[in-house]
Structure 1
Amino acid sequence: MTKPDPTPNDPAETHERIGFGQALRVWAKIGALGFGGPAGQIALMHRELVEKRKWISEPRFLHALNYCMLLPGPEAQQLAVYIGWLLHRTRGGIVAGVLFVLPGALVLGLLGWLYVVHGSAPLVAALFFGLKAAVLAIVIEAVLRIGKRALKTRFLATVAGLSFVAIYALHVPFPLIVLGAGLLGWIAYRISPDWLPASQASADGEDERYVIDRMLASGAAPHTRPSWRKGLWTSAVGLVLWLLPVALAGWWLGRDHVIAREGVFFSQAAVVTFGGAYAVLAYVAQRAVEDFGWLRPHEMIDGLALAETTPGPLIMVLQFVGFVAAYRNPGALDPMFAALLGAALTTWVTFVPSFLFIFVGAPYVEKLRQRRGLQAALSTITAAVVGVILNLAVWFALHTIFRATIAWQWGPLTLDRPDWTSLEPGAAVLALAALIAMLRFKIGMGWTLAASGLVGALYYTARHV
């Protein structure tokens, strides 16, 4: 008897059609186009995985994002690992996470080599001038896109506004904002559930229009069920993979060698720094420049500028720190060889913990997804995240369109406002054009970045020749 053709709604068949090779190509695309820091990268994944390909539903995407926002480390990369794990188990999470980081690591490695050999070359500045303007447009689009879907009630919109004021004007630490938002959401659920969207006031079901949701509804994803034995085994393997290279560096080069110290320091930073990339960078800049003397202050700023305009997580700037620090202090090693080792070890200990956090914690997060009070708390955290992304958009605008800012203080509020005499009109026009291209004419991110980079390089060269 001939087997009937599968229907489009067959969960198993739909899952089969998203083969590992197809997913690999999509993750490679996301990694290569992942400009704009976490805001731009989250918006890119939302566009590709929720809207365009319908791999994961909006509530489940936000649920995963909320968990990643609670973790130390790069939340956008952790979100990629989470979704890759949902789709293709551990190997899917590894591929998604590695491809999210690899393009930026390669580009930043090349730029690091150019930097230490040739200095801050004008060619590099020209190439990235236009990209910065496009990145600003990407971040603004992310605020609009995610805000439209997350702020479905006045209560959530108010939380987003308060979150923005808290982080931008009052400089409240991000973990406190997350905890406060979660507590507000839980209280709102208890006293007035109508403050929350209807889908959050009750347990969410699976949305059969999306591949991952169909997989879970049909029981085709047993790896999402929590197991304490599997969790212990995963933790043991992850800790060995994470810390073994650090121990080998100390044994080979000595504990006082800069590469061994980088392994220890950045391993600590991976677990104690919450609040996204900018919180991590503030901590690392202070220790690397002031305490260790690995870099000069302007070198840290140059590294941040390079990392902001390369694909991948903004936290990739730590690779630049590891590269330059080892190049400046190679010991008995060849300087360039030491730089490569320092960059590789720094990158390893920065990102391996992210895989560990997801592979161990995600099954339990999936199990808790149906808890109504938890869903209310997480939906409120999502609203707070919108305010944080808006803060990033404002910060990026001030540092892209203006060459300088002016501090303004009123009572407990401390704001950076633009210095209008330092306006860069070319950057402003490029950012506006990129935003119109994406929002009005629906031009893809890749084409927008390429066009902005080319036009920006020509403009920058003409201005500085």
Structure 2
Amino acid sequence: MDSKLKEVAQVFFKLGCFAFGGPAAHIAMMEDEIIEKRKWLTRDYFLDLIGTTNLIPGPNSTEMTMHCGYERAGKAGLFVAGIAFIFPATLITALLAYLYVKYGELPQVEPFIYGIKPAVLAIIASAILKLGKKAVKSTELIIIGILVLAASLLGVNEVIALLSAGVLGMLYFYLKSKTKSNFYSMSPFLLFLGINTTIAKVSTLKLFLIFLKVGAILYGSGYVLFAYLDAELVTRGLLTRAELIDAIAIGQFTPGPVLSTSTFIGYQLSGFTGALVATSGIFLPSFLFVLLLNPFIPKMQQSKILRYFLDSVNVAAVAIMLAVLFIMAKETLIEWQSIVIALLAIILTFKTKISTIWTIVIGAFSGFFLITIF
């Protein structure tokens, strides 16, 4: 294997083993590994990748791995990075699916997950600070970021917020560059306008097409994934809602993308073959979207008007990460144990040069000891 491909595989397999906490945390870990340590990309370009990736369907953090792999080792790097990142979650989820179908219950991993969540907050905060310094280039972009943050906290769909920020920011900066008039300085404000399982067999082709469809149109969080899968599987009688809830739970507490839920469901419906086709179906659109999108990003950077669009989308993406951080903190920091772990993670992240992966590991074991002892 080419040395660059081997490096890509190693880096993203490692990240795939420890990527807990959702897309914002995954991207924060990538920023540390790809930008800080290895310097594969500039932070500006990494930010452009984040902004554009948020505009396409699919698991954004997984698509970011594909972009980074593409930049490091070409088209082959795109596929190697994506597969390496997805593989650990898929393998772990398949194993858990086997145990679930055989024994009808999930393993007790809550104490470890309890410790990971507050540790992830510090990692996300660090990435927001670094990316924010690059994204905030003017007062107008600060205003756009604040408005997107407010919109996100009020529940506005993140894709709508990003597109609105991009289009309105692009129009504003274009008009400003043409007229130099103070009239348009108000334009950014327009932005505000456990169970024994009965396996229901289904053909592998049908299963593949169901998950291909979901992967091609999915935007948003695990809750959106739940809604899509509920419509595609539960209403058709292929899965009970209780089984779907367990599958989503597996996707939430295993590392990597929550879409590894597809592996679990595929196994429930058609064994290991089902796990393979469901996983392939839901992730295949992401590989194709990134393959088509990546070559256009340098051209977008060179276009003056599209540069305005990217700058506005980038600051909006950082604002959405900040909103995610706020919501996660509100939901996580409710007991003294989680606050202690968060403070420890802040010290490790901001006062030492320890890897984000070790911060995750230390957080997990801290959670286990604090919960089991106290």
Match of 1:50 among 3, 23, 35: 35
The answer to whether the Cα contact below 8 Å between 1:289 and 1:295 also exists between their aligned partners in 2 is yes
1:371 corresponds to 2:300: no
Counterpart AA for 2:202? H
Amino acid at match of 2:211: F
Query: Could you say if the C-alpha distance between residues 304 and 156 of structure 1 is closer, same or farther in structure 2, counting changes exceeding 3 Å?
Result: farther
CA distance in 2, matches of 1:435, 1:289: 42
Q: Match for 1:174: what amino acid?
A: E
Distance 1:348 1:165, change over 3 A: same
Q: Is the 8 A contact 2:148 2:319 kept in 1?
A: yes
CA distance in structure 2 between the aligned counterparts of 1:392 and 1:312, rounded to whole angstroms: 17
Alpha carbons of 1:451 and 1:175: their partners in 2 closer, same or farther (altered >3 Å)? closer
- The Cα of 1:76 is off from its aligned counterpart by 1.6
Equivalent residue, structure 1, for 2:247: 303
Q: 2:216 touches 2:282 (CA, 8 Å); kept in 1?
A: no
Residue 41 in 1 paired to residue 29 in 2?
no
**2:21–2:116 CA contact under 8 A, matched in 1:** no
In the other structure, the counterpart of 1:322 is: 266
**Counterparts in 2 of 1:263 and 1:29: CA distance versus 1, 3 Å:** same
Pairs within 5 Å for 1:58-77: 58-77=43-62
Distance 2:107 2:158 in 1: 36
Cα 1:392–1:323 change in 2 (3 A) is farther
Would you say 1:161 and 2:146 are equivalent positions? yes
The reply to whether residue 172 of structure 1 matches residue 156 of structure 2 is: yes
Corresponding residue SS for 1:347: helix
The one-character-per-residue Cα deviations of 1:392-443 (angstroms, maximum 9, x if unpaired) are: 2233334434xxxxxxxxxxxxxxxxxxxxx333223222322222122332
Residues 103 and 150 of structure 1, relative CA distance in 2, 3 Å threshold: same
Deviates more, 1:37-46 or 1:300-309: 300-309
CA contact (8 A) 1:39 1:143 kept: no
C-alpha deviation, 1:71, in angstroms? 1.0
Contact 1:288 1:295 in 2 (8 A): no
Q: Distance in 1 between matches of 2:326 and 2:102?
A: 34
- Partners in 2 of 1:51 and 1:297 — Cα distance? 43
Partner-residue secondary structure (3-state), 1:159 = helix
Question: What does 1:269-288 align with in structure 2 at a 5 Å threshold?
Answer: 269-274=214-219, 276-278=220-222, 280-287=224-231
How big is the shift at 1:341?
A: 2.4
The structure that is helix-richer by fraction is: 2
Q: What's the RMSD between the two structures over aligned residues?
A: 2.8
1:457 to 361, 365, 368: 368
**Using the alignment, how far apart are the partners of 1:316 and 1:193 within structure 2?**
46
Q: Distance in 1 between matches of 2:371 and 2:276?
A: 33
Q: Is the CA contact (8 Å cut-off) linking 1:31 and 1:312 kept in structure 2?
A: yes
Equivalent pair of 1:43/1:145 in contact (CA under 8 Å): no
Residues of 2 paired with 1:437 and 1:341: CA distance? 43
Identity level (%)? 31
Structure 1 residues 160 and 285: alpha-carbon distance in aligned structure 2, compared to 1, 3 A threshold? farther
Q: CA deviation at 1:122?
A: 5.8
Change in CA separation of 1:258 and 1:138 when aligned onto 2, cut-off 3 Å: farther
1:444 to 347, 355, 362: 355
Q: Mapping of 1:124-135 within 5 angstroms?
A: 124-135=109-120
Aligned-partner Cα distance in 2 for 1:437–1:294: 46
Q: What's the TM-score once normalised by structure 1's chain length?
A: 0.68
Q: For 1:255-404, what aligned pairs fall within 5 Å after superposition?
A: 257=202, 259-274=204-219, 276-278=220-222, 280-287=224-231, 291-324=235-268, 326=269, 338-401=270-333
Q: Deviations over 1:218-252 (max 9, x none)?
A: xxxxxxxxxxxxxxxxxxxxxxxxxxxxxxxxxxx
Give the conservation status (yes or no) of the 8 Å contact 1:185–1:376.
yes
- C-alpha spacing 1:295/1:140, structure 2 compared with 1 (3 Å): farther
The residue correspondences of 1:69-108 to structure 2 (distance < 5 A) are: 69-108=54-93
Q: Unpaired runs of 5+ in structure 1?
A: 1-16, 195-255, 327-337, 402-422
Helix, strand or coil at the partner of 1:70: coil
Query: In the TM superposition, what are the counterparts of 1:197-276 in structure 2 within 5 Å?
Result: 257=202, 259-274=204-219, 276=220
**2-structure distance, mates of 1:58, 1:450:** 26
From the superposition, tell whether residues 461 and 115 of structure 1 become closer, same or farther in structure 2 (CA, over 3 Å). Answer: farther
Letter in 1 for 2:275: A
State the shift of 1:43 in Å. Answer: 1.5
How big is each residue's C-alpha offset from its partner over 1:347-398, in whole Å with a ceiling of 9 and x where there is no partner? 1011111111122232233333200110111111111112221232233334
Tell me how far apart the structure 2 counterparts of residues 376 and 159 of structure 1 sit (CA, whole Å): 12
- 1:40: how far off? 1.4
1:425 matched to 2:336? The reply is yes
- Partner residue, 1:210: none
Figure out how many residues of one structure are paired with residues of the other and give that number. 352
Shift of 1:21: 2.6
Matched position secondary structure for 1:71: coil
**2:32–2:356 contact (8 Å) kept in structure 1:** no
Q: Deviations over 1:75-98 (max 9, x none)?
A: 222122122222222211111111
SS in 2 for 1:311: coil
Contact 1:33 1:445 in 2 (8 A): no
Relative to structure 1, the CA distance from residue 398 to residue 320 in structure 2 (aligned partners, 3 Å threshold; closer, same or farther) is farther
Structure 1 residues 362, 48: CA separation in 2 closer, same or farther (over 3 Å shift)? same
3-state SS of the aligned residue for 1:442?
coil
Question: Which residue identity is paired with 1:109?
Answer: A
Taking a change above 3 Å as real, the CA distance of residues 323 and 400 of structure 1, as seen in their structure-2 partners, is: farther
Question: Larger Rg: 1 or 2?
Answer: 1
On the 8 A contact 2:111/2:371 being kept in 1, the answer is: yes
Shift of residue 298, structure 1, vs aligned partner? 4.8
Q: Distance in 1 between matches of 2:344 and 2:237?
A: 42
